[in-house]
Each structure stands twice: as structure tokens, then as C-alpha cells.
Structure 1
Amino acid sequence: MSPTTTAQADPRTTLRAGLPDRYLTPDDIAELFEVPLETVYQWRKKRVGPPGFRIGKHLRYDPADVQHYVRERKDAPEAA
């Protein structure tokens, strides 16, 4: 018997196991962090979320930058 794979893996498991080997979309970011898509766009507008970049009219995120953003957030002291 061969192991089966699901079409859509749990995004939190993907983040822990390693992000896909492709640039991520805003939808991917929203799914990974379990936030509404509008939140991702607000982060970008306020420059507080993971850094993204434009390819033509499309917004993309480098998985390495997203992992770095998560590590920084985990290591940052919490505000009182």
C-alpha cells in the first residue's frame, strides 16, 4: 500500500515542516496565518506583516522571508 497525499495540507503543518518551493500568494499567507485576506493586505499597507514583492500586478511572498518573519515574531518580547 502506498501512502496517500491530500490535495490540501494543513497550512500550519506546512509552515512547521517547511514552506512550498514556490513564491506564496496573499491567499497562501491568509491561510497560513488563519487570518482574513483583507488582513494580509492591511499588513502590507501598514508594513507590519511578512515582506512581499510585486511581479507585475501580482503580489508574492518569498517563503524564506515568511519563515524569517515568523522567527522574529516568536523571538520578540511581548508588549506588556
Structure 2
Amino acid sequence: MEGQPHQLWGVHEVATYLGVPVATLYQWRHRAYGPRGRRVGRYIRYDPDDVRSWFSDQSETVT
């Protein structure tokens, strides 16, 4: 990867980006829903591209 290293997001960054509580992300993981996260040691990390892709794939529109 060239240039600046790709930063991963933690649960707080993802929750902020999606506008949901951190607890919601943990519930989604338990239910195998939401953006794909990976365990790094004792932490959960998300690739921002995966989060954005998951968000754009959501077909439900807000009215």
C-alpha cells in the first residue's frame, strides 16, 4: 500500500459514522448483522471501506 497507511476504525468510530450507539454494534455482531468487523487481539476493528460498502448496500430508504 502506497502513501499513508490505511487506518482501521474501532467501534466508537463506526458508531459515530453510522449514528448508532456502540451497544447496537455489539448487538449486530452477536446477530451476524451489520458491517464486517475483525478481532485484533481483544479489540474489534473495522475497515472503513467495508463499513461504507455495507451502508451503501442497505436497500431500505428513510422516508
Fold in common (TM above 0.5)? yes
What fraction of aligned residue pairs are identical, expressed as a percent?
34
Q: Which is richer in helix?
A: 1
Counterpart-to-counterpart distance in 2, 1:56 and 1:34: 26
Greater C-alpha radius of gyration? 1
More contact order relative to length (CA 8 Å, sep ≥ 6) = 2
- TM-score calculated relative to the size of structure 2: 0.79
* Alignment match of 1:35 (pick from 13, 17, 20): 20
Q: Which is richer in strand?
A: 2
Moved segments of 4+, more than 4 Å: none
- TM-score calculated relative to the size of structure 1: 0.63
In structure 1, the gaps of 5 or more residues are 1-20
In structure 2, the gaps of 5 or more residues are 1-5
